[in-house]
Amino acid sequence: MPSPTGHAARLALAVLLCALAMTPAAAGAAPRTPPHTGAASWTAQPAVSGSGTGGRPYIYLEGPPGTVLQDRISVTNPGRSPVTVRLSGADSYDAKSGGSGGRGATGAGRWLRTAATEVTVPARTRADVPFTVTVPAGATPGDRPAAIVVRGGDRTVGVPVRLRVDGPTLAALTVEDVTVSGRTIHYTLVNRGNAVLAPRLTVRADGVFGTLLRRGARTLPVELRPGQRLRLTEPWRDVPALDSATVRVRVTAEGGAHGEATARAVFVPWAPLTAGALLVLAGAGTYAYRRRRARRQERGDTGTDTGGGTGTDTGGGDGDGGEQSVRPPGGRQHSGSRHLAKAGAES
C-alpha cells in the first residue's frame, strides 16, 4: 500500500509538468499591446474664458452701424504633432455638407477679419485666435449670420457667428411654388425681412369627400437668413387613389412672420383607367367591324334576288305574250298590251 508521502510527491510532480506544458501556450497567446497612435483630431470652437471647458454653441455679437466688434475662437490640438490650420470669413457654413461661403463672401463674411490667416498649433495646445467684425456705417438693421471657417489637412470646421446690427427689425416670410409630385409636397420659403427666422410648418389637404391630410405646427430643422430662398419637401405617403385635393402650406415664425400658399392636386389611377379605355376601344372597334360586315352581306343578298326576278319576268313575257314593263328614257312606263292593241288597230 503506497504511503501518503508517495501520493503527495506524485501529485506535486503532476502539477509541475502541467505548468511547464502550459507556459509556452500561455506566452504565445498573450495579447500584444497595440502601439499608441495618439493623434486625435483638432477642434475649433468659440473661445471660453480662462481654462473653462463649457463652450458656446455660437458667437453672438451686436452693435450699431459703423462699430467694430471683437471676439475669439479656440483651435485645440490634442495630438502629438503640430497642426497648421487656415482661417477665413464666410457668409455661412453647412456642417452636414461642409459647404461655406468663405470664397467670395458677399454678406457679413466680408466684415470678418482674423488676427492671422494661418496658425500653427503645437501638440497638446490650445490657441486662441482673435478676430474683428467691422460693421459698415450704412449697414441696414437686422440679423447678419456669418462664420469663421477653419481648414487643416482633410478636416474643415465652421464656427458660427451671429451678428445683429442695431435698429428696427422686420420679420417677414412668404411661401411660394407649392406643388405635389407623387407622394411629395414641394414648396419654397423666402425670408423677406431682416431677421433670421426659425420657421414652423403646418400642412393640410382637403379632398372632395373630406380632409385627407392634417399636420400640426412643428419647427423645421432649418434657419432662414434674410433674403434667403429655400426649396423644401414634405412627404405624403397616404395619397388618395382617386380624388381632387387642395393642399395648403402655412409657415409662421417669431416676430409675427407668416406665409401661406395652396396648390391643386388631382389623383387618378392611370393604370386601371388606361386598361379600361383600351378594352372599350377594342370593343367599339369589334362592334363597328361586325356592323360593316353585316351591311355588306345585306347589300350582296339584295343584288342577287333582283337579278333572278328580272330574268324570270323576261322569260314569261316572251313565252306567254303577257305584259312586260318597259321604262323608256323619259321615265314613263308603257305596258306591252297597250302596244299590241295599238298595232292591231293600225292593221
What predicted TM-score, i.e. pTM, was given to this entire model? Answer: 0.59
For residue 133, being part of any structural domain is answered with yes
Which CATH number characterizes residue 91's domain? Answer: 2.60.40.2310
Rounded Cα gap, residues 101 and 111, in angstroms: 13
Residues in the chain: 347
Domain boundary among 165, 193, 228: 165
Residue 245 and residue 268 in contact, taking contact as beta carbons nearer than 8 Å: no
Q: How many domains does the chain have?
A: 2
DSSP string across 149-216? EEEETTEEEEEEEEEEESS-----EEEEEEEEETTEEEEEEEE-SSS-B--EEEEEEEETTEEEEEEE
Per-residue pLDDT tens listing for the chain (347 residues): 455 445 545 555 454 444 444 444 434 444 443 433 334 589 999 998 765 556 789 999 999 999 999 999 999 999 999 999 999 999 888 766 555 544 456 788 999 999 999 999 999 999 999 999 999 998 989 999 999 999 998 899 999 999 999 999 899 999 999 999 999 999 999 999 999 999 999 999 999 999 999 999 999 999 998 899 999 999 999 999 899 999 999 999 999 999 999 999 999 875 555 655 677 777 777 878 778 878 888 887 765 555 444 444 444 444 444 444 445 554 445 444 454 444 444 44
Domain with 265 in it: 173-270
Which CATH number characterizes residue 238's domain? Answer: 2.60.40.10
| DSSP-derived pairing of the beta strands 200-207 and 83-90 | unpaired
Asked whether residue 143 falls in the same domain as residue 215, the answer is: no
For residue 202, being part of any structural domain is answered with yes
Asked whether residue 192 falls in the same domain as residue 161, the answer is: no
Rounded Cα gap, residues 27 and 19, in angstroms: 12
Degrees, nearest 5: CA angle 171-226-157:
130
Partners of residue 249 on adjacent β-strands: 203, 261
Other CB atoms within 10 Å distance of the CB of residue 10: 11
